[in-house]
Structure 1
Amino acid sequence: MRVLFSAGLGMPAVLRLVLLARALQAAGNEVRFCCPARARYRVARAGLVPVLADPHQFSRAWRPDLVVHDPLCPDSTAMAAMSGVPTVGYLPYAQPPLSPRPTVWIDPCPPPLRARPEPGAWHVRCDAYELPGKPVPRPAGLPLLPRVCIAGVPTGTRPEDRRRARLFQRVAEGAESLGLQLLVLTGDDHPWSLLLPGCVVVVHGGDEGVVYAAARFGVSQLVLPAGERERRAGARLEQAGIGRCLSDDELAGDPSMLRLRFHIAELVNGGRVLPTAARLGMAIARMPPPADLVPDIEALMR
């Protein structure tokens, strides 16, 4: 049977879909993968066939039996809707998906982080395919000092990017002033299984990929939200008791170093946050991996 995957612009979404695509291909299905040009190398290295042609034209010519797509990408959603075959969509974390609804939702979000469960969704562990594209700053062994990972530091030249980069820098300075070990990452494609063990806090902007990675490894989180979607993500972490999200007032201007130090120290020193994050990581480990969904997905094509 033929399965067409269609991912959006975000690398974390691509890498999550890659795991399911590999599992379906290993079960004997013919798989093709539509994705942005910058992700095709990752897809090919994962042993899959990336689509080089226009996705809509390819879908009409190839005629898949099923489409698995990113429901936050308009092009992917439109292609899935026009395919005329069963569709599977990964339920987004903190943003309403586009219409129309797929035949089946797959929900990778750990239940404590899902504000309103989707009836009938298939739950799956929030894994993502890892393939380092270049050498990564892998820390050696367990740290003697608590380690703080800062991920998603903006690298753009817009005033907003520079302002947010300064905010991340202030957080890094606050962590260093507390005598903590720092691991600073840029970009959106990281081998989390190498980087997160040994970390006690992950500081990020609310990106879904980082939220899931930190939750999977039982690490507490500090969110510096870039917008309303990221603010909702951070609020859910606070409600679940595994993190902290800075408010608009705390983000305005040049945030107080004393307040930043307080939030970091609060997360590092535990309280209820560290054990709650660790318990969530253990609960996620017991969730079904993407490969367990293959029989149910194949049943949709019969």
Structure 2
Amino acid sequence: MRVLFSAGLGMPAALRLVLLARELQAAGHEVRFSCPARARHRVVRAGLVPVLAGPQQFSRAWRPDLVVHDPLCPDSTAMAAESGVPTIGYLPYAHPPLSPPPTVWIDPCPPLLRERPEPDAWQVRCDAYESPGQPAPWLTELSLLPRVCITGVPTGTRPEDRRRAQLFHRVAEGVENLGLQLLVLTGDDHPWSVVLQGSVVVVHGGDEGIVYAAARYGVSQLVLPAGEEERRAGKRLEQAGIGRCLTDDELAGASSMLRLRFHIAELVNGGRVLPAAARLGRTVAGMPPPAELVPGIEALLRRQGK
């Protein structure tokens, strides 16, 4: 069976697709992986073959039996729709996917966090591929202080980026004022299995990759949303009792730093949040890994006569 994977610009989605691609390749299927140029070195390091041409052009020439794609990427969705073969899409966390729908949805979202479940979706654990290598020693050292991890600080020059970056800096200041260990990460390729197992709170902008990683390792979350979709994702975390979502408006005014320090202390010191996050981590650990999807995918192809 020939399987073409097609990922969009979002690195977390690409790294989830990599895990399933590796399992199908290990099962003896021929796999190719289309992704943006900046992700190709991760694909190669994972032992997969990257596609250098555009996904639509390559699909017409290679003629796959199955397409697994990122349903938030217009190019991937268009290519899957015109391929004429069964398609599989990973159901997004908060963003509405593009049309048309795939033959099968895969849902990596823990049920507690899914706002609108897809009844026939295949559940899978929200793992993501991590590049091999030895993590920096300071990440693995034990600390006597609770660690707060901050990631996704905006680096753009737009006024809204600068305002949100200032908000992240204020959070960092609040963490240090409380005497906690602060870890600020840049980029989009981190050993979450190491970083988050040593953290009690992760602060981020609502990106689904971080939401899933924190859920996987039972870490509470503080969301500083970039937009309406991220705000909805953050509010879903609040409803699930495992985090807080704070917007610019909620942190405005002279007393904002005091309120911010209160929210950070609340997340770090427990109450109902830390036990709820730990329970979610145990739930996620019990979900099916990507390898358990392989028999269902093979059965799907047999039903289609491939």
Q: TM-score, normalized by length of structure 2? A: 0.95
Q: Which amino acid aligns with 1:104?
A: V
Secondary structure in structure 1 of the residue aligned to 2:49? coil
Deviation at 1:141, TM superposition (A): 3.2
Kept after mapping to 1: 8 A contact 2:109/2:126: yes
Query: How far off is 1:142 after superposition?
Result: 2.9
Helix, strand or coil at the partner of 1:196: helix
Please give the residue correspondences for 1:32-47 in structure 2 after superposition, counting only pairs within 5 Å: 32-47=32-47
User: In structure 2, what is the equivalent of residue 292 of structure 1?
Assistant: 292
In structure 1, runs of 5+ residues without a counterpart are none
Asked if the contact 1:224/1:251 (under 8 Å) is kept, the reply is no
Residue of structure 2 equivalent to 1:131: 131
Is the CA contact 1:34–1:50 (under 8 Å) kept in the aligned structure 2?
A: yes
Q: Tell me the SS of whatever aligns to 1:237.
A: helix
- Which residue identity does 2:150 align to in structure 1? I
1:282 aligned onto 2:282 = yes
Question: Residue 101 of structure 2 aligns with which residue?
Answer: 101
- The alignment partner of 1:197 has SS state of helix
Q: Conserved in 2, the CA contact under 8 Å of 1:153 and 1:187?
A: no
1:151-300 residue pairs with structure 2 within 5 A?
151-252=151-252, 256-300=256-300
What CA distance in whole angstroms lies between the structure 1 residues aligned with 2:15 and 2:233?
A: 20
Deviation sequence 1:115-135 (CA, Å, 0-9, x none)? 121111000000000016896
Aligned counterparts of 2:19 and 2:219: Cα–Cα separation in 1? 23
CA distance in 1, matches of 2:137, 2:223: 22
CA offsets per residue over residues 225-259 of structure 1, 9 Å max, x none? 01001001101100110000014521557881111
Q: Partners in 2 of 1:18 and 1:85 — Cα distance? A: 20
Q: Give a deviation string over 1:130-171, Cα, whole Å, max 9, x none.
A: 016896574233320111000111122222222211111100
3-state secondary structure, aligned to 2:193: helix
Superimposed CA distance per residue, residues 71-99 of structure 1 (whole angstroms, 9 cap, x where no aligned partner): 00011000000000000000000011111
Structure 1 residues 254 and 128, CA gap change in structure 2 (3 angstroms): farther
> Gaps spanning 5+ residues in structure 2: where?
none
Bigger Cα displacement from structure 2, 132-141 vs 149-158: 132-141
Contact 1:167 1:255 in 2 (8 A): no
1:51 offset after TM fit, Å?
Answer: 0.2
Secondary structure, in 3 states, of the residue corresponding to 2:51? coil
Alignment check: 8 A CA contact 1:2 1:31 kept? yes
Preserved contact between residue 14 and residue 35 of structure 1 (Cα < 8 Å)? yes
Judge conservation of contact 1:88–1:104 (CA < 8 Å) in 2.
yes
Q: Does 1:11 align with 2:3?
A: no
CA distance in 1, matches of 2:155, 2:25: 36
* Aligned partners of 1:167 and 1:254 also within 8 Å: no
- Say how many residue pairs are matched: 302
8 Å contact kept, 2:150–2:204: yes
**Percentage of pairs with the same residue:** 84
Structure 1 position 9, deviation (Å):
0.1
Aligned partner of 1:73 in structure 2 is 73
Partner Cα separation in structure 2 for residue 54 and residue 61 of structure 1: 11
**Where does residue 110 of structure 2 map in the other structure?**
110
Q: Which residue of 1 aligns with 2:147?
A: 147
Give the superposed CA RMSD: 1.6
* SS of corresponding position for 2:9: coil
**Any conservation in 1 of the 2:251–2:257 contact (CA below 8 Å)?**
no
